[in-house]
Chains A and B, each alone.
Chain A
Amino acid sequence: SQELEQSPQSLIVQEGKNLTINCTSSKTLYGLYWYKQKYGEGLIFLMMLQKGGEEKSHEKITAKLDEKKQQSSLHITASQPSHAGIYLCGAGVMFSGGYNKLIFGAGTRLAVHP
Chain B
Amino acid sequence: DAGVTQSPTHLIKTRGQHVTLRCSPISGHKSVSWYQQVLGQGPQFIFQYYEKEERGRGNFPDRFSARQFPNYSSELNVNALLLGDSALYLCASSSGTGRDDGYTFGSGTRLTVV
- Interface residues of A, Cβ cutoff 8 Å to B: 4, 30-31, 33, 35, 40-45, 48, 50, 88, 90, 92, 94-107
Which are the 7 A-B pairs with shortest beta-carbon distances? A104-B42, A42-B107, A43-B105, A95-B56, A101-B45, A42-B105, A42-B108
Known: A42-B4, A96-B56, A104-B42. 18 other contacts (CB 8 A): A33-B103, A41-B107, A42-B108, A43-B43, A43-B105, A45-B105, A88-B43, A90-B43, A90-B103, A94-B99, A95-B55, A95-B56, A99-B98, A101-B45, A102-B35, A103-B42, A106-B42, A107-B42
12 A-B residue pairings within 8 Å (CB atoms): A30-B99, A40-B88, A41-B108, A44-B105, A97-B56, A98-B98, A99-B50, A99-B96, A99-B98, A100-B101, A102-B35, A104-B42
Q: How far is the CA of A45 from the CA of B104 in the complex (A)?
A: 7
Chain A residues within 8 Å of B104, by CB: 45
Chain B residues, Cβ within 8 Å of A100: 99, 101
A54 to chain B, nearest CB (A): 13
Bound CA–CA A82/B40 (angstroms)? 21
Contacts of B62 in A (CB 8 A): none
A102 cross-chain contacts in B, Cβ below 8 A? 33, 35, 43, 45, 92, 103
